[in-house]
Chain A
Amino acid sequence: MTLKLLSKAAVLAAFAGLLSFGGAVMAATTEAEAPKTQFSFEGPFGKFDQAQLQRGYKVYREVCSACHSMSLVAFRNLGDKGGPFYDPKYPNSNDNPVVKAIAADYMVDDIDTETGDPSKRPAVTADYLVAPFKNEYAARASNGGALPPDMSVLAKARERGPDYIRAIVNGYKAAPAGLTVAPGKYYNPYFPGDMSSSWKGDPNDVPEGGVIGMPPPLRDGSVTFDDGTKSTLDQQATDVAAFLMWAAEPKLNERHQLGAAVLIYLLLLSTLLWFSYKTVWKHESH
């Protein structure tokens, strides 16, 4: 009996192990591990913190959006349930005055139906956030050849995305002596890369991290938060990381809530089926 149990446990363990390998990151990473941040949206009951999203949006709008597009997010999304400017008075985010005002600040491309010429008009809530550059080439040309990635799903496109984003923005350091960093590039211990070729020191002690094309984007006081939160570099980095997670996974609140209901239902169903099973098999040896 014990043996049987043991072998069953072994099967389960083997599969759990196999599963965990699948999700595991490949090794041979040379960058420093991003410190763990406790975000409000983590865990099974996690939710976005609206005040934090508003602060994060301000950082994105005033700093990041100068170079980074966010082409999958529409103005209306900012007022969606769970979003930075959600207001229960306006269940339809297209009616939300804050969202309308944000959209109206931007000009978007249009076509003059009279002449067929390209024209500009103020954005409406249905429009998508306006990209800072016309196309990839323009973006590269303005950024020393590097392409600032679109930020719509950035927080999901990196392992431990929000932690990684916070660490990058927060983690610039002076390049250690012996490391050649090309002009217009910056050393960041959290950025993946292999620097053995530009390292003059001990080949067994290559510094971790890589060189990134983005200059340190934030410093203490870069933005002024409307809610009076002290605008430290770390605060800005944490808030923008949370905002980018919202942009990448706007249905997270809904997902966590529905998940709880589904699990409660399944536990109940399993209990009922267990008793049903026990009743049916009561008099049968097996």
Chain B
Amino acid sequence: MSGHSTYTPKTGLTRWLDSRLPILRLAHDSFVDYPTPRNLNYFWTFGGILSLCLGVQIITGIVLAMNYTANAALAFNSVEHIMRDVNYGWLIRYAHANGASMFFIAVYVHMLRGLYYGSYKAPREVLWLLGCVIYLLMMATGFLGYVLPWGQMSFWGATVITNLFSALPLVGPSITTWLWGGFAVDNPTLNRFFSLHYLLPFVIAGVVVLHVWALHVVGQNNPTGVEPKSKADVLPFTPYATVKDGFAMSLFMIMFAVFVFYLPNSLGHADNYIPANPIVTPAHIVPEWYFLPFYAILRAVPDKLMGVLAMFGAIACFFALPWLDTSKVRSMRYRPTARLYFWLFVLSACVLGLCGARLPDDQVIPGLKTFTLIDSDPNSFVWLSRIAALYYFAYFLLITPILGLVEKTSPVPETIASPALNAKKA
């Protein structure tokens, strides 16, 4: 937050500290006195929820590392040792494993909120880019962590993902050998993945600090997309946002607890309870649910290199978004046409997720056999994922740039407070 601070140290000790390390001033300006738009809805509570998720993952992770053995011969049994012998080990491990899924649920809501309300638009481009970096780091951390239990899905997930790099011309094979530290995924791979899995969350925490810093420079966006203009538009962070965030976190924890205590393996895959076996691949390889849309894009493309590029391109679209959007209006609340395309985008991402969990040649409508289009039946998940992937890319690369130039928007209010006040009158 730029601008002057309203912090006044009250005791001798805080005055002494304030002139040496103004950390209390920083905390006060960031989390107490920080002006937040008064019209934030519950989608804005996910930033706080995400910090909670990161904290849960780091704390449970440090504790798991105290009991885990990163060795190909011992890893699987050490996880079972945690589940069976370590005091509350089952709770900590289930919290960590399901915590990863909770983290991704929260981050997807957070990202879609940014997409819907135009939170990536000037002057928040750097804020958005830092968020994209966090998302990339989260995906890397999630993938590395999934390898550690050294079950069948761990092993084959690691094999498939590292083999993506073999698609690169010339250097591909050398890169995969380098990643593995051998000629296949094996003990050296597990050791380095464990090391990196322990490191990356702290990198994420560092980027989160930058993300919050950038946020406090430009201020929060809000559902109207109109910048606060006066005191009437804002409220102090504490108590208004703190109590709302706290309430939302508590609700989120209820969902988290239901998974940890009652559905602890529902988001995982049964095959990961079979110890890694380098000579047998499980019948169905599927990544964790949060990677499914990208996995579907990978498989939708019949060419290996192009598939890998499309998959990474799908993530790159998020980075480019601030410069792809030509709309002058920030929030989709006043962009009815954009809203329609946005929900179609959400639908396409969900359809891609569905396709990622199915075999490419499975029939979408069971029993309906049509004809062969290029390489397979149009009534197959591979064709469904192609259609969804086309829309996914079209949304970023065509719809978003063109729509901003041609769409008809509804009137945008002068200030944040005005629609709120109007609503009250009406």
Contact = CB atoms under 8 A, between A and B. Distances in A.
A binds B: yes
A26 B357 contact: yes
A19 B105 contact: yes
B235 A284 contact: yes
A27 B359 contact: yes
B353 A286 contact: no
Q: Which of A19, A152, A284 has the most CB atoms of chain B within a 10 A radius of its CB?
A: A19
Contacts of A88: none
Given A284-B38, A286-B420, A266 B84 contact: no
B51 interface: no
A255 B273 contact: no
Interface string A5-39: 00100110011011101111111100000000000
Nearest to A25: B284
Nearest to B254: A266
Interface string B158-197: 0000000000000000000000000000000000000000
Contacts of B250: 266, 269-270, 273
B1 interface: no
Contact of B353 (A18, A28, A267): A18
Interface stretch (A48-56, A155-163, A176-184, A211-219): A155-163
Determine chain B's interface SS by DSSP, over half rule.
Answer: helix
Contacts of B283: 26, 192
Interface string A222-264: 0000000000000000000000000010110011101110110
B271 interface: yes
B243 A277 contact: yes
A273 B283 CA distance: 47
Interface in B252-269: 253-254, 257-258, 260-262, 264-268
Given A18-B353, A285-B424, A263 B254 contact: yes
B270 A158 contact: yes
Interface stretch (B21-29, B139-147, B304-312, B343-351): B343-351
Interface in B352-385: 353-354, 356-359, 361-362
A90 interface: no
A263 B243 contact: no
Contacts of B91: 255, 258
Contacts of A107: none
Q: Which of B247, B265, B283, B358 has the most CB atoms of chain A within a 10 A radius of its CB?
A: B247
Given A21-B289, A280-B240, A156 B273 contact: yes
Interface residues of B, number: 65
Contact of B354 (A21, A28, A153): A21
A281 B240 contact: yes
B362 A273 contact: no
B251 interface: yes
Contacts of B267: 19, 22-23
B421 interface: yes
A281 B239 CA distance: 9
Q: Which of A14, A22, A269 has the most CB atoms of chain B within a 10 A radius of its CB?
A: A22
B274 A157 contact: yes
B271 to A, nearest CB: 7
B83 interface: yes
Given A22-B289, A266-B253, A285 B105 contact: no
B412 to A, nearest CB: 17
Given A19-B289, A22-B353, A280-B239, A157 B270 contact: yes
Given A18-B289, A23-B266, A262-B257, 5 more contacts: A17-B350, A18-B349, A72-B84, A251-B90, A285-B420
28 contacts: A11-B112, A11-B346, A15-B105, A18-B349, A19-B267, A21-B354, A22-B267, A22-B288, A23-B289, A24-B357, A26-B357, A27-B359, A28-B284, A28-B362, A77-B84, A156-B273, A161-B270, A250-B84, A251-B84, A251-B90, A259-B262, A262-B261, A263-B257, A277-B244, A281-B244, A284-B240, A285-B421, A286-B40
